[in-house]
Amino acid sequence: NAGVTQTPKFQVLKTGQSMTLQCAQDMNHNSMYWYRQDPGMGLRLIYYSASEGTTDKGEVPNGYNVSRLNKREFSLRLESAAPSQTSVYFCASRIGLTEAFFGQGTRLTVV
Amino acid sequence: AQSVTQLGSHVSVSEGALVLLRCNYSSSVPPYLFWYVQYPNQGLQLLLKYTTGATLVKGINGFEAEFKKSETSFHLTKPSAHMSDAAEYFCAGGGDKAAGNKLTFGGGTRVLVKP
């Protein structure tokens, strides 16, 4: 049972490049989330998907897009990376209102 | 909309001393509340949770938290700190299905344990 798997673990991008962060869960959870973690700011919600086929904006959606590909997978895309998007990105999933399970994170640096 | 506030971004305690991390929430619906721990360069691990029922919740590693509705608080405590408790701790809340099951985090509290 792998839980929540994120790829890649590390990435360096140049300003203006695009990339997609992948997330997959094998726990049959209905809700999935993307957060970014910055020093002193805790975890801020970028986008979430309450169920397959739905996505909604969180606190900091600008510069990002998401796709809920199926129940297992929820990807986050940066169309034109900016240095302000340098952060650690976490994917999480949960079922109903229970606790969320987190991936190990993707450390992204935009230069 | 639900919000979660952690008082104190950094806490320093001596080994063997009480650990107290404060969390307050605001919510228009009964909250589901969680405490997570994050060790360096790792993901978040659940310490404990409050959903319904008993207001004093026990978690892993000797931590516990008490839900106090009158104070809108969910403070985390551990009677005796250990060096291995040095980490960052996050309080989170999310119990509103109408809000799409959003899970909102506080800003985190970094715990330093002094020998």
Report which of A48, A91, A34 is spatially closest to residue B96, judged by C-alpha positions.
Answer: A48
Distance (Å) from the alpha carbon of B47 to chain A's nearest alpha carbon: 10
Mark yes or no for CB contact B101/A105 under 8 Å.
no
Nearest chain A residue to B4, by CA: A42
- Amino acid letter for position B65: A
The minimum CA-CA distance between B115 and chain A, rounded to whole Å, is 25
Residue B99 contacts residue B32 (beta carbons within 8 Å): no
pLDDT digit string (tens) for B31-80?
789 999 999 888 999 999 998 888 899 999 999 999 998 899 999 999 99
B94 chain-A contacts, CB cut-off 8 A: 97
Cβ-count burial of A41 within 10 angstroms (0-12 exposed, 13-18 middle, 19+ buried)? middle
Q: Does A35 touch chain B (CB under 8 A)?
A: yes
Q: What is the pLDDT of residue B109?
A: 96
Looking at chain A, the whole-number percentage of residues with pLDDT higher than 70 is: 99
